[in-house]
Amino acid sequence: MWTQIVFGVCAAGSVATGVAVFRVDSMARATFALLASFLFAAGTILLLNLAYLGVLVVLMMIMEMVVMVVFMLMYMMNPAGLTPMTMVHNQKGSLAIAGGVFAALAACIFLVPWPTSGQPRPADPTRALGEALMGSKMLVMMVLGLCLFATMVATVVLATHRGRYDRYGDALRAKRPDDPVRGGLDR
């Protein structure tokens, strides 16, 4: 009974704040609406006895959205929401596509006979997850690690303003770096 009520509140809150992300007037508000949506969704995960994954989502999303707010204020127009803001293209088409996708998914959800499990749930799901990641699902863990490492390298490369090839030429043979201003070590 109580879990049903909590689930209903979390589900409705998650979708409502998710919609609010694209309707509020400022980027900062949109980011915090997105954070609220993630927290409500994490609430529904916690209801499924997934304590570790639920808390992981909560902590990660708080960090991620706080970082995102900084980028929002850096890049976006109207960060304070003092004036109305709409930045959309092809809104009707997008609404039609999103509505169609939702209708199709909802139809599938209620038409497909989903499998049910008679097996008992593990007493400690986190332990089962950890053992799987260090055993049968090791490949997933390794690929994830590789992806994260590639992301670190790629973000640094993309965010570099002037790298050594800009400063020392394509073959890195220039005697002196081609810098807009002089200064620094050995120059």
Q: Which of residues 125-154 bind other proteins (CB under 8 A)?
A: 125, 128-129, 131-133, 137, 140, 144, 147-148, 151-152, 154
**CB 1, min distance to other proteins, A:** 11
DSSP 8-state secondary structure symbol assigned to residue 48: T
Please name the amino acid found at residue 58.
Answer: V
Longest dimension (CA), the chain: 75
The amino acid occupying position 65 is M
Question: Which residues are CB-neighbours of 62 under 8 A, at least 6 positions away?
Answer: 35
Per-residue contact string for residues 18-57; x = within reach of other proteins by CB under 8 A: xx-xx----x--xx--x--xx--x--xx-xxxx--x--xx
Q: Does 94 bind other proteins (CB under 8 A)?
A: yes
Residue in the structure block whose two tokens are 């304070």: 80
Number of neighbouring beta carbons within 10 Å of residue 73:
14
Residue choice 84, 115, 180, 184 for contact with other proteins (CB under 8 A): 115
CB of 50 to other proteins, least distance (A): 6
Task: State which residue, 115 or 185, has the beta carbon closest to other proteins.
Answer: 115
